[in-house]
Amino acid sequence: MSRVLFLAVLLAAGAASGGSMTMLLDYSDAGEFGFSRYSGYDRIEWEGGECFSAPGQPLLPSRAYAVVVPPDAGNVTVSATVLESVRLGTGFYIQPAAVPRPFSAAGMPEIICPDPAIYDSDAAWPSDAVVSMHDGRKCGFRLAGFRICPWTWNPADGSLELAIRMEVAVEWEEGGSAPILSPSQIEAASARLSEWVANPLDIPAFSPPSLQPDAPVDYLVITSSDYSDSFAQFAAFKNGTGLVTEMVFISDILATTPGYDNAEKLRNYIKNRYLNDGLEYVLLAGDQTIIPVRNVALECEGWSDNAPADLYFSDLDGTWDANGDHSYGQPEDDLDLYSDVAVGRALFDTPGEAALFVQRSIMYQSSPPSGAWQTRAILCGAGLFPGYTGAKVCDSIAVNLPAGWEINKAYELPSIQDGFTTHIAIINSGTAWNHYAGHGNTAGIYWQSSPTEMMTNSIAQGLYNGNMAGIHHSIGCHPGAFHSGECCAEALWHNPGGGASSVMFNTSYGWEGYLPEMGVSEWMCVYLTEEVFQLSNGIIGSAFATAKDRRVPLWSGGHDRELYCIMDWCAFHDPTLPVIGGGTGVEGRETVPPAGGMTPLLGTPCPNPATTGDMVRVPAAFGGGSATLEVFDLSGRIVLTIPVDSPGEAQLVPEGCDGAMPPGVYLLRLSNSTGSDTSRLVVLAGSR
């Protein structure tokens, strides 16, 4: 594998001084790359690399990196020096990048046209190994993101070189400002950044300044006073789990907060609470008729749209309008793009729909039905373009799901020229994780051939999966376009007989990659799955935000599909929702062939939710001998261990804030030598 070695971090003294960081990149492992042919051209396949070029430019793979620098760093620059390179031969004819297509353009032919200014020249391409660079701020942490292309190709003789050793220098000036945040904000951001930045060991030294103690609010629920009854219940539930939650009426925000328009007033209010009160999560409780939206003019290679981008309320650095023209979210607006708070939107405009959102969200978190549905996934992959299907992203998602899950796949392959209907019965039986790789419009997501409906308004309205309603996400175009009438995301939420507990759909187009590579929309759905099930990021809002954050270093800085996809993939859920089966590595049932007797079975705790001081009884069945009941918090930490000497039931009493089980969500695991089983318990605040 390639190696990254940090040689030095040098910090100079003085207010006007700066610092630098030096990385040594080693790409000498020849087993990581290979060559293939595509449309008459040569393609380089590089493990861990991703092709990224403007249309007509040579399509060479690069790798993206992000490093943490001091929080007050400014004027960050990145440069690369080649220390050693190898010549791989001549006569290569590298493929030009095709004109990108959204998934809706299935009938549009792929256009590959070399740029004559490059292909008729006698100059190596690219001229600089640092092919793009973007610096931004994630919860006070300063990040420098950049892409490195170690390949150079000369069109004149087709010679190809690979820089196998390279030194990269990241330099900055100091003396800028940095936000002062709460310990919990910094701790949460540190945990997420440590998963994907190249220098995680520098995170403690480069943390932003902190307030002591933690500030007063974790979670804001913003809605209209017309829906106060439902969301007062929701806020009480979240407060009972230990998450400090406050309900605020949008009318009060708009009446007291400055801003150019209602969306800017709302963002300014959220930003103020983030900077001063420790805010980490926001629920925009209402559709565009209740809670303002920020529509952003999105563009990519002739395709354009004006679509909601709730990232505007999540990325709180800058104004998103640096040039002051009130056309928000444009490349010239000094965009940051990293999420500072996790934002979800509840799609409703009636009291009944609001009550359903609250009921389903609480049910999913407090007392979901037990059974096999909690470890069942359905992955649907349509034919997307000639020779390319959604099977690739589905397979990439599947390998990130936990071992032992039931993974159902419905793929539209060249040998199968029609769509599927069998997946609907699987969803009705209960599914925890659902992905739809298909074509789309506002009313749904589709197979390429008949029967075309994969997940549509009519299918969603007819689901009867009840409270076995899981997480749904898609790469399709427009199924989350809630501003354009009843969209598919709304239909999944508005069916009282079933549907979804979380939906992450595009409000505009999803985009292909450089075929046969996956594209941005596909990668974000893969990252989402990896965050939840492999990286212990089991809170859906945090996982969603991080999946998008990880794509920011690949942004070219202009109107491209990277920016388009980061903007228009939106989340419709409670952002504090803990994903069933995700986050800690504790969940799920494990069995080994028993020598005799039965493997452990753990029943539903009673009462559930419980309050501190309650006697909680947990049915526990297992074969002869004894077992152990362990109680985990959502970080995966064991907070209580109870020996269970014989089958029957285990008993525990949640303690108050000074005890082992303060208000919160807990995972219970019963285990012995023959296996294990898990259940979930919600503890609300109470008095003994």
pLDDT, tens digit, 9 for 90 and up, residues 247-298? 999 999 999 999 999 999 999 999 999 999 999 999 999 999 999 999 999 9
Strands (E), 90-190: 130-138, 141-148, 151-154, 159-173
Q: Which two tokens stand for residue 487?
A: 């969209």
Provide the pLDDT for residue 198. 93
652: amino acid identity, one letter: L
Among residues 269, 245, 275, which one has the least CA distance to residue 255?
A: 269
Number of H helices, E strands in the chain: 13, 37
Half-sphere exposure (Cβ direction) of 94: Cα atoms closer than 13 Å: 32
Tell me which residue has tokens 């406050």.
246
Q: Is 331 helix (H, G, I), strand (E, B) or coil?
A: helix
What CATH number is given for 372-481+502-572 in this structure?
3.40.50.1460
| Cis peptide, bond prior to residue 58, ω within 30 of zero | no
Provide the pLDDT for residue 609. 72
DSSP secondary structure, 638-656, as one string: EEEEEEE-SSEEEEE----
Distances from the Cα of 45 to the Cαs of 226, 442, 515, 555, in angstroms? 56, 36, 12, 21
CA distance 567 to 436: 19
CA distance 557 to 146: 11
Q: What is the 3-state secondary structure (H, E, C) of 482-550?
A: HHHCCCHHHHHHHCCCCCCCEEEEECCCCECCCCCCCCHHHHHHHHHHHHHHCCCCCEHHHHHHHHHHC
Distances from the Cα of 1 to the Cαs of 27, 49, 340, 518, in angstroms? 8, 12, 33, 21
Provide the pLDDT for residue 585. 46
pLDDT (tens digit, 9 = 90+) per residue, 83-117? 999 999 999 999 999 999 999 887 888 999 999 99
User: For the domain with range 590-684, which CATH number is right: 1.10.10.60, 2.60.40.1930, 3.40.50.280, 3.40.190.10?
Assistant: 2.60.40.1930
**Nearby residues of 214 by Cβ (< 8 Å), 6 or more positions away:** 182, 183, 184, 278
* Rama region for 581: left / alpha / beta (φ>0; ψ in -120 to 50; rest): left
Provide the pLDDT for residue 435. 99
Q: 422-456 burial, b for 16+ CB within 10 Å, e for fewer?
A: ebbebbbbbbbbbbbbbbbbbbbbbbbeeebbbbb
CA distance 413 to 381: 9
Tell me, what DSSP letter sits at residue 370? P
Provide the pLDDT for residue 414. 58
Taking a C-beta distance cutoff of 8 angstroms, is the pair 523, 553 a contact?
no
Provide the pLDDT for residue 589. 45
Find out if CATH 2.60.40.3800 is the number for domain 3-202: yes
CA distance 451 to 334: 45
Tell me which residue has tokens 């690949």.
554
**Nearby residues of 420 by Cβ (< 8 Å), 6 or more positions away:** 380, 410, 412, 447, 451, 454
Burial class (CB in 10 A: 0-12, 13-18, 19+), 259: middle
Tell me, what DSSP letter sits at residue 210? B
| Fold match, 3-202 / 590-684 | yes
**Nearby residues of 83 by Cβ (< 8 Å), 6 or more positions away:** 24, 163, 165, 166, 167
Provide the pLDDT for residue 2. 63
* Domain ranges for the chain: 3-202, 372-481+502-572, 590-684
Local mean pLDDT, 10-residue blocks, the chain (688 residues): 63 64 90 89 93 94 96 96 96 96 88 96 96 96 97 98 96 89 93 92 92 84 97 96 96 98 99 96 98 97 95 98 97 97 98 98 95 97 92 96 95 69 95 98 95 96 97 98 96 98 98 92 98 94 98 95 98 98 56 53 77 84 83 74 86 71 80 80 64
Provide the pLDDT for residue 645. 87
Question: What average pLDDT does the chain have?
Answer: 91
CA distance 248 to 217: 12
Q: Is 328 helix (H, G, I), strand (E, B) or coil?
A: coil
